[in-house]
């Protein structure tokens, strides 16, 4: 039996692989979906995959931004072929592919599946389930530094210092020109100006 997968080409986690398993999967922003993509362009329940006759059939579930296969917006169910490009809205692009198992591939796995795979009978050592892929949290520009293990996360103040310096320079120039104009010193300071 062939195995199928989506590989994210563009979106929040480029390069991540989503293995497709089961007779019916939903794609959407909600974490309960078989293929969960946390992006504002993706609806909570965006599309559905149904396994029929050895192939996956893709169907849009009335999503806001639409589901596209090879650039064509879906108006009904479409049978996917290996190499098809599936887009959710304009920014999320997934490559559909038939695969053979690759032990070195990056695979998106749900937290429940990771926790289920950890043996329950290990009372002596604490159990930690790490997600298969973790995206670094982004700090909005200008936000306060966050506490990180071993210290404080420093924000880059260089753009702020440069901006303040440019603003100060412009204010000084404007003040100087205002002073020259108010004290009628144009001809004294700038004798090359015509009319002096």
State the Cα–Cα distance between residues 136 and 12, nearest whole angstrom: 11
For 196, residues 6+ apart whose C-beta sits below 8 A from its C-beta are 186, 187, 190
Residue 154 confidence class, pLDDT cut points 50, 70, 90: low
State the Cα–Cα distance between residues 163 and 24, nearest whole angstrom: 54
State the Cα–Cα distance between residues 117 and 94, nearest whole angstrom: 27
Please give the mean pLDDT across all residues of the chain. Answer: 78
Q: Looking up tokens 């999503």, which residue turns up? A: 63
pLDDT value for 123:
47
Half-sphere exposure of 112 (CA within 13 A, CB side): 4
Contact 187, 193 (CB under 8 A): yes
Q: What is the CA radius of gyration of the chain?
A: 29
Contact 48, 62 (CB under 8 A): no
pLDDT value for 44:
93
pLDDT value for 1:
47
What's the whole-number mean pLDDT along residues 174-194? 80
Residue 158 confidence class, pLDDT cut points 50, 70, 90: confident
pLDDT value for 62:
92
Residue 152 confidence class, pLDDT cut points 50, 70, 90: low
Higher pLDDT, 7 or 144: 7
State how far the alpha carbon of 127 is from the alpha carbons of 64, 114, 134, in Å.
Answer: 40, 11, 18
State the Cα–Cα distance between residues 47 and 39, nearest whole angstrom: 14
Tens of pLDDT along 160-177?
A: 899 999 999 999 999 988
pLDDT value for 119:
47
State the Cα–Cα distance between residues 113 and 155, nearest whole angstrom: 36
Tens of pLDDT along 84-102?
A: 999 999 889 999 998 765 5
Q: Looking up tokens 């579930």, which residue turns up? A: 61
pLDDT at 118 over 50: no
- DSSP tag of 88: E
State the Cα–Cα distance between residues 14 and 8, nearest whole angstrom: 5
Torsion-angle region of 97 (φ positive above 0: left; ψ -120 to 50: alpha; else: beta):
beta
Among 25-39, 44-58, 72-86, 101-115, the minimum mean pLDDT is found in: 101-115
Reduced to 3 states, what is the DSSP secondary structure of residue 177?
A: helix
What's the whole-number mean pLDDT along residues 18-29? 91
């Amino acid at each position: 039996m062939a195995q199928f997968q989506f590989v994210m080409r563009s979106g929040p986690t480029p390069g991540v692989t989503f293995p497709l398993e089961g007779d019916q999967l939903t794609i959407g922003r909600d974490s309960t979906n078989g293929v969960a993509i946390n992006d504002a362009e993706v609806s909570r329940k965006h599309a559905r995959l149904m396994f029929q006759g050895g192939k996956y059939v893709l169907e849009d579930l009335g999503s806001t931004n639409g589901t596209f296969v090879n650039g064509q917006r879906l108006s009904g169910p479409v049978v996917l072929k290996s190499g098809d490009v599936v887009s959710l809205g304009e920014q999320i692009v997934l490559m559909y592919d038939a695969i053979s198992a690759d032990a070195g591939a990056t695979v998106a796995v749900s937290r429940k599946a990771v926790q289920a795979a950890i043996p329950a009978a290990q009372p002596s050592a604490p159990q930690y389930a790490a997600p298969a892929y973790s995206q670094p949290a982004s700090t909005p520009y200008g936000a306060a530094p966050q506490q990180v293990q071993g210290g404080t996360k420093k924000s880059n103040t260089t753009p702020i210092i440069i901006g303040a310096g440019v603003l100060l320079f412009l204010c000084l120039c404007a003040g100087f020109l205002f002073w020259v104009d108010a004290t009628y010193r144009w001809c004294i300071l700038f004798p090359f100006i015509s009319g002096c």
